[in-house]
Amino acid sequence: MPVRRTKRGDERTPLEGSWDVVICGASFAGLTIARELRGSGARVLIVDRYEIGERQTSACAAPTEWIERLGLSPSIRQTFTDLVVHSPHIDTRWRLPWSFSTFDYPELCNLLWEQCDADFETAKVEGRVGAIPPAGVADDGDPVAVETDRGVVEAPLVVDCLGWRRVLDDGYQPPDAPLSRGLEVHPAGTDDDLEIWIDRDIVPAGYGWNFPARDELRIGVGSFDPRFHVKDPTVKLTEDLGKPPEGYQGNWIPHRLREGTARNVFFCGDSAGHCIPLTAEGIRPAFYFGIACGRELRAVVDGRRDRAAALQRYSDFNAEHRWKYEWMLRVQKLLPKIPPRVLAPILRGVAVESFTEWSFDHYLAIAPPEFAGEGEGETEARREPVAA
């Protein structure tokens, strides 16, 4: 178990007051939103139950171009231009049109934090206090009060970036909610390939993975069915790869887009179901929707919009993505139904370079890196088009 670095005992002083913006959750979504507010002059508070970067929440693989554009390149541990896909009847290698990189979670979070000028406090968010306006009631602009284990903090602009629980709304409970489950281990070791396994012997609906990160491997299993336990399959896959199953890390993963706003609160990242179904890629969308949300908040603190307009615009932006998420969910539901013998020619077909390029470019367009702006300049993450 990682050692908890959060404040304890006498250090755990009361935390109360008003801010212009309160961001609950200091991981990918929360820190990206705070980054958008830098230099605005707004008083921004971020709260998280752990210190920034203390508790890794994923295998930490994301499109390289996103990491570069956000100025986070020093956190990159390993970069991959291919994806190796194993299945019972065939192993295929897909040459990707753009690369994925694994990164160091604490380092990436701290690099994001260096780009913010917000206040940070460790506190556990318990929920909302005071009367919660029913859905559909016009926005009166009143501050939203958030209860933490150190006191009540409030702001007119509040964002829930607390992950799948959606603490500041009605909550969300497995196994009935549309959630997948994921578990991984982090043994020491090196490898060259980013690998996934689509194999019913490992997990009936889902996939296994091995994401190398320079000196450690992130080996895990994700199940689209929340009732299927992934511990034994994770241990087996790890042992089959000749590694000890140590350094566990797991969580629920939402696989359905939710409302971007509710009761005058913004939701971003897993709390809004931004993790992409089928692939369970949630970091890139947390960056993407985090930027969108941060821009709306920025317009309010700059006096260019009121809160009601910002809530509506962000909600609309979120909803525009619904059809893409529903498509990915359809494929997620279809994949486990495909018999292994039929899967083999499909995987071979995807491996055809022109198809890989077409499909992965469409997939990247769900949350394109250009949205982050210019970043660090020309990127090497996208390889040159293949000559005809």
Ligand X SMILES: Cc1cc2nc3c(=O)[nH]c(=O)nc-3n(C[C@H](O)[C@H](O)[C@H](O)COP(=O)(O)OP(=O)(O)OC[C@H]3O[C@@H](n4cnc5c(N)ncnc54)[C@H](O)[C@@H]3O)c2cc1C
Q: What residues form DSSP beta bridges with 261?
A: 266
Q: Does 45 bind ligand X (CB under 6 A)?
A: no
Identity of residue 153: V
Q: Binding residues for ligand X, how many (CB under 6 A)?
A: 40
CB 384, min distance to ligand X, A: 25
Binding mask of the shown chain, residues 122 to 141, with x at each position contacting ligand X by CB under 6 A: --xx----------------
Does 210 help bind ligand X (rule: CB under 6 A)? no
Q: How far is the CB of 84 from ligand X (least distance, A)?
A: 15
Burial of 17 (0-12, 13-18, 19+ CB in 10 A): middle
Q: Rounded to 5 degrees, what are φ and ψ at 293? A: -65, -45
Question: Is 159 one of the binding residues for ligand X (CB under 6 A)?
Answer: no
Only one of the segments 44-52, 113-121, 329-337, 358-366 lies at the binding site for ligand X (rule: CB under 6 A); that segment is: 44-52
| CA atoms of 38 and 34, how far apart (whole Å) | 7
Q: Decide: 67 and 76 in contact? Cβ < 8 Å.
A: yes
In contact, 192 and 299? CB cutoff 8 Å:
no
Separation of alpha carbons 338 and 330, rounded Å: 13
Within 9-28, the residues that bind ligand X by CB under 6 A are 25-28
Q: In terms of Cα–Cα distance, which of 156, 67, 79 is closest to 105?
A: 67
Indicate the DSSP class of residue 188: B
CB of 374 to ligand X, least distance (A): 22
Among 72, 177, 213, 283, binds ligand X (CB under 6 A): 283
Is position 367 an interface residue for ligand X (rule: CB under 6 A)?
A: no
* Contact call for residue 286 and ligand X (CB under 6 A): yes
Residue 45, strand partner residues: 22, 119
281 forms part of the interface with ligand X (CB under 6 A): yes
- Residue 235 C-beta: closest distance to ligand X, Å: 14
Q: Position of tokens 């009367």?
A: 131
167 binds ligand X (CB under 6 A): yes
Residues that bind ligand X (CB under 6 A): 25-30, 48-50, 55, 57-62, 124-125, 161-163, 167, 182-184, 211, 220, 249-251, 253, 269-270, 275, 280-284, 286
